[in-house]
Amino acid sequence: MNALTAYDHGGTGAGIGVGVIDSGIDLQSAEFGDCSGGIGTGTCRIAGASIAAAGNSTIDDEGGHGTAVAFTIAGRRNDAGTHGVAFNAQLIVARADTPGSCATENASDPDSGCSFGDNAIAAGLDAARAGGARVVNISLGGDPPNSRLLQAIGNATAAGIVIVISAGNDGDKPEGVNPDPFAAGAAASAGARGLVIIAGSVGTTDQISSFSNRAGTGAATYLTAVGERVRAPDQNNAAMLWSGTSFSAPQIAGAVALLAQAFPNLTGAQIVQLLYATARDAGAAGVDPVYGRGVLDLTRAFQPVGTTSLAGSTGVVSAGINGALSGPMGDASQGPLGAVVLDSFDRAFATELARSIVRQGPARRLPALMATRQRSFSAGVRNLSVAVSLVPTRDSIRIERLGIGSRDAGVARMLAATVSGRLGSKAQFAIGASETGNTLTARLAGRDEPAFLVARDPLHSAGFDVDVTGSVAVRQSFGAWGVSLAQEQGQVLSRRDTPFAALRWDAQRSGYWRTTLGLDRSFGKLRAGLSLTRLSERDTVLGARFSGGLGAARAGSNFVDVGLRYDMGAGWSLGGSMRQGWTSARLRSGVQGGGLIRTNAFAADIGKDGIFAAGDSLGFRIAQPLRVARGGIGIALPADWDYSTMAVSAWDKGFINLAPEGREVDYELRYSWPLLGGDLSSNLFLRRNPGNYASFPSDKGGAVRLTLGF
């Protein structure tokens, strides 16, 4: 039954009463504690509520069957031989064999031996209920229960007691296609309330035992466990190998006891539902007429079932990914984030959330433009120009962001899809699709940016994966000064939590909004720009996504950007940019927490036009993309759960670190020259610590691009 997981979780059955209605128990056996002082005293695990239900003078076993069944449920665990499933459980024994019947057993007569009357079984069931049993095992069979026994079954289930009855050992006979009439009648009765389990037998390979009655008409309440060659002592303490559904039933009863002890919030109905839901499927898929619900599996029963949530909140915790970091966070490592989660049965489990926070990994930095066929168009009238770049795909045409600076844009007369124009002599506007607001304001201010493919200007991108839906910018001149305002809207692209590998990079999308207020000025040959940006993310933090269990963080960021470009004359130019950011993350899904995150980025370049021939251009840039310098998200994590109050009893402080060890620095050399009415450009680059991963080797590469006009 894969019980080791149950024991690793502390399952022993301690404090749980288990009723055993059978032929009694060996009172001299040490397997049930020291009962020399009488049952219910000292370390004896045979409860004082035990009775001789059929009129026998003692509960001491005469036939051996009862002792073996009781041992299978609760035989001691002493590191020798075998032990019972719930080895610390209390046994409420009801000896129900008709007096003298066990002494008549004859190996040649299958009808000889212990016999049991329904009224005695009913009395035993009543005694188990009165004694506080959570589960009762009845490894008996025969005719359908009489009215007295059906009433006792109804009273027991009304008290939430689970009853486990053996399916019968007539599997090799025609009637064996259905459970024994005794078990079938009990399970189908109005008083069963779904709390009567019929126990069938399998071998250790999950194959139905030849002797076991099948599920048949009782499939909905039929569960199997190993009932072949079960090692247990008889009434004389001699180890025997027992086979029969009589020995699969006590394994299921013991499993009920383990679950009742480990998870005190569970009702009898929930325990039965849990055993059915976690059983290993065998035979035909689903509930079938041979195996019914399947094979008992305690490993599955002691694992979370259904949706899990962080204790003390409604935030869902995934078994896969609970956090997906973004590019600026690189190889940020996590310390312990231990927490308590609740499954769909409100059972508490300890989990380590740090393992479920994944890193994105370095992005492929060469733009998709390098591997596609593109059509670019531009047109203009007085004070108004329109430009668009279209890329055909298999089933659509998309607007493509070029990912180049305004110098190349001057050649191509466009960048993605833009509409720009003047509003009088001092005002300008631009509307863009797939373009950032900062790119539009830079263009309106006339800042001439050289074209680098990998070492990009960090001021022109979010720093993490986004899909810009659209942007608009306006600029007003005040003499040598210019004031611009830009608004941008789009979607953050983050990794999905899905078990299907092929879909993990089908990005999950959530909205963001960015507003930028800029100030620019020319000081002779020096052009300078200063801007303040407010970025609001609906469900992400600088592109990172966290599950509801981790608070479903959202963020607001403030950035200060500075850009300079100096014309040194003779075709030489020198430029640089720097970004400093402060991000405030807030948790909004149940648990409390938040944090402040510092980010930065920079770029510096030098270039020369006309170095070898008229119209050619050479340049070199060093750049650091947006990177978290320090900070993270503090979070309150449930550390302990109290079943008596069904509430968190202790909280710990956790910290989701977002600062990487690695620091990506990009170096790029570019050269372009005019060719056939267009231009041919080449770029060589080196990325150290790509993606902000300290352990990754440097990324080296190059690109050649031919642009032709018509």
The angle, 0 to 180 degrees and rounded to 10, between the axes of the packed helices 65-74 and 249-262 is 30
| Stretch (H or E) spanning 440 | helix 437-444
Q: What are the residues whose beta carbons fall under 8 Å from the beta carbon of 59, sequence distance 6 or more?
A: 24, 25, 27, 39, 46, 50, 51, 52, 93, 94, 95
Question: Among 354, 337, 259, 349, which Cα is nearest to 297's?
Answer: 259
Q: What are phi and psi of 11, to 5 degrees?
A: -75, 125
Separation between Cα atoms, residue 384 and residue 422, nearest integer Å: 7
Separation between Cα atoms, residue 497 and residue 494, nearest integer Å: 10
Place of tokens 């168009």: 377
Query: Of the residues 23, 50, 65, 531, which is catalytic?
Result: 65
Torsion of CA 494, 499, 505, 508, to 10 degrees: -40
DSSP 8-state code for residue 279? S
Q: What are phi and psi of 257, to 5 degrees?
A: -65, -40
DSSP 8-state code for residue 152? H
Active site residue 246: yes
Note the helical H segments in 21-178.
65-74, 118-130, 147-158
Place of tokens 């910290």: 655
Question: Among 366, 376, 447, 466, which Cα is nearest to 416's?
Answer: 376
List strand residue ranges (DSSP E) for 368-416, in order: 375-381, 384-392, 397-399
Question: Among 184, 227, 168, 204, which Cα is nearest to 282's?
Answer: 204
The answer to whether residues 598 and 627 touch, using CB atoms and an 8 Å cutoff, is: no
Query: Of the residues 29, 166, 246, 573, which is catalytic?
Result: 246
Contacts of residues 437-440 at CB distance under 8 Å and 24 or more positions apart, as own/partner, are: 437/471, 437/472, 437/473, 437/486, 437/487, 437/488, 437/514, 437/515, 437/516, 438/486, 438/488, 438/516, 438/531, 438/533, 438/561, 439/415, 439/471, 440/471, 440/472, 440/473, 440/486
Token code pair at residue 141: 């069979």
Q: Which amino acid is at 44?
A: C
CA 463 vs. chain centroid, Å, equals 27
Question: Among 202, 191, 249, 198, which Cα is nearest to 221's?
Answer: 198
Separation between Cα atoms, residue 464 and residue 458, nearest integer Å: 10
Contacts of residues 695-700 at CB distance under 8 Å and 24 or more positions apart, as own/partner, are: 695/331, 695/662, 696/362, 696/662, 699/362, 699/365
Q: What are the residues whose beta carbons fall under 8 Å from the beta carbon of 265, sequence distance 6 or more?
A: 345, 346, 347, 643, 646
Active site residue 65: yes
Token code pair at residue 189: 């009765």
Pairing outcome for strands 417-423 and 427-433 = antiparallel
Separation between Cα atoms, residue 617 and residue 624, nearest integer Å: 23
Separation between Cα atoms, residue 353 and residue 496, nearest integer Å: 17
Catalytically annotated residues: 22, 65, 246
